[in-house]
Each structure stands twice: as C-alpha cells, then as structure tokens.
Amino acid sequence: MIVATVSSIACRVRAATSTWAPASARASAIARPMPELPPVTRARRPSRPKSCSSDIRPGYRRPYAGAVRDDLLPVLACPVCAEPLARVDGGPVGCASGHRFDEAKQGHLTLLPAKRRALTADTPDMVDARIRFFGRGHYAPVERALAEVVAGATAPGVVLDVGSGPGTYLAHVLEAADDRTGVALDLSPVAIRRAARVHARAGAVVGDVTERLPVVGDAVAVVLDVFAPRNRREYARVLHPGGMLVVVTPRTGHLAELAEATIAVDPEKERRLRESLEPTFVQRRSDDLTWTMDLSAEDVHDVVHMGPSHHHVDPDRTFAPASVTAAVTVSTWTVA
C-alpha cells in the first residue's frame, strides 16, 4: 500500500512538472501574436424599405382586445347558413344553427365559405407597402373625400369597407363620423390583422368579397369600394333602404409617370364601372380628383408594390424619386 501510494504521488508530481514553465516563458507565449485569419465575407441583401410597425396613426389604434365588438356581431352573417352571429354564452361566436367561429387573438373573425374559388390575397410585403405609403399622406385627398361623403349619410347602419386592406380609409371615415361603427372586409388575413386594430369602432373580417358577403341584409348604411372588385347584387342586398355605395376608381393618367412599372388603367374604366353597377344602382354624384405627389425613391417603391403590380415587378428593382400624378373618380350610388 505504501509503495503504491508513493508511486502514485510520484506520477502526479511528474505530470505537474511536465507542464510547468517559467513565468517569463508563459508571458512570452501569451504575448505572441495570433496568426491572421482571412476576413469573413457575407453576401449582403439588397436594401429594402423598412416595415412599418405602426398602423394608420397612433390615435386610431384601439387597445388590443382580442375580440370583435359585440355590437357588430349581429351585423355579421354565418358563411354556412347566413344566420346572424352572436356571442354564445359570453364565449365563442356562432349562429342559431350551431355553427361556431373562433376569433383570432389579433381580434378578427374568419368567415369564409367552405367552398370558394382560389383567389390571390395581398401579401405581407404588399400590406406593409400600403401602410407606409398611406401613412405619409399621399392619398389624403381620397381620405378627405370619403370622410365628407360618409359624414353626410343619413341611413342607419354600419360602414362596410369591402376590399379594405389594412383599413386606412375606414379609419378616416369613422374618425369623421363619430356616431358610426364599421366593418373591414378583405380576403387577406395579413391585412385584416392590421384592420382589426385600426380604430376603436371598427371590426375586421376575413371574407371573400366576390361571393356572398358575410353580412346580414339591410344592415349597412354605406358600402366603401376603393380600388376593389364590385359585387353589385351583394351590395344591394346588404344596404339599408336609403343607404349608399361609394366607389373610388382610377382614371386615365393615374400614376402615368410610373406606367412602365405599374398596370395601366383601362381607358374604358368608366364604362365598365357603369356596366358593373347598372341597372341595380343609380349614380347620384361623381367627382374627379387630380393631384401631384412628390415621391421619394421609397415612396415610388411602395406605390408600385402595394397593388397588383407587385406580382409583376422584380422585388429587388430600385426606383428614383419622381413627381407622379394621381387621378381618381369618387362616385356615389344608391339602389334603384
């Protein structure tokens, strides 16, 4: 036992002394410069405009609630049986026939029919571009015109923004008409998540604007259709007697300076508008708005990418600042 112990101690001593070195040698080793390594290079992605973290304006956003306003639920219809919706026992949203619909945590409902056509909804990049562009006030003339028309509406009911996108126009309209509530309806879940918190008196629904609208009949005072597909029969069904339809369409010359990168305006747009609404609707008023927008390079990028042109333009394409013409028609219609 003694021999083994001494032997093991000797081994530990030899191991320790084999790694020992004078302090000067250790300092020299530490001070010795490390060999230079080649720099690491990484491919840089092209610069893109930053995503807008806020919605329309800070004052418009309602606190996160995670639920659709209860007073708006009776306006909404079940996409299965068309019965009005309500909150069942203070919990889920459903209809009298037993169909139930979960509310997204962001505060909106999805009311899509079980069978529907395959349609292309706005992408996150398109929605972000739209929010940035609207947030800089470039379409303020349209916002003011819509607010003025809706403020003069006399029929009872809600404001329904069809093809609402992130709810910009609905927010401005509700701000001018403090006795109204509104519903944003769009196929894009990304856009509707933004619209759900755009205004304290707004609700938001993911729905197909080209089919039967998830809205009960005679419940709407004003239908807004801004650069959106038109659904004549459904608009007539949901409008309250005396209600009105407000349509915004581009005119020839709209964004003409960006014609190379955008989809051209159909020169027969006005005729096609009438054909899409008459004889069910009668036009009551039509106003042409024309103004010039001084756009930065980022503005030009956003106006190109916030609409259908986004699908046809190289995402890495850069643009120069430009002075661009905006030309639209705001028309008001009532059921014949």
CATH of 115-335, one of 3.30.700.30, 1.10.10.410, 1.10.3720.10, 3.40.50.150: 3.40.50.150
Number of CB atoms found within 10 A of residue 6's CB: 10
Number of CB atoms found within 10 A of residue 329's CB: 17
In angstroms, rounded to a whole number, what is the distance separating the alpha carbons of residues 30 and 199?
Answer: 64
Contact assessment for residue 282 and residue 331, using Cβ atoms and an 8 Å cutoff: no
Nearest CA to 238 out of 223, 227, 225, 228 is that of 223
Burial class (CB in 10 A: 0-12, 13-18, 19+), 206: buried
pTM of the model: 0.80
Domain boundaries, the chain: 115-335
Contact assessment for residue 199 and residue 171, using Cβ atoms and an 8 Å cutoff: yes
In angstroms, rounded to a whole number, what is the distance separating the alpha carbons of residues 166 and 164?
Answer: 6
pLDDT along the chain (336 residues), means of 10: 41 41 44 44 39 38 64 96 93 94 92 77 92 96 97 95 97 94 97 95 96 97 97 98 97 90 74 94 97 97 86 79 97 98
Q: Containing H/E element for 224?
A: strand 220-226
Q: How many residues does the chain have?
A: 336
pLDDT at 136: 96
The CA dihedral of 245, 309, 312, 268, to the nearest 10 degrees, is 60
Place of tokens 């604007």: 209
- Token pair of 41, please? 């290079």
Contact assessment for residue 185 and residue 109, using Cβ atoms and an 8 Å cutoff: no
pLDDT at 54: 35
Nearest CA to 164 out of 135, 194, 136 is that of 194
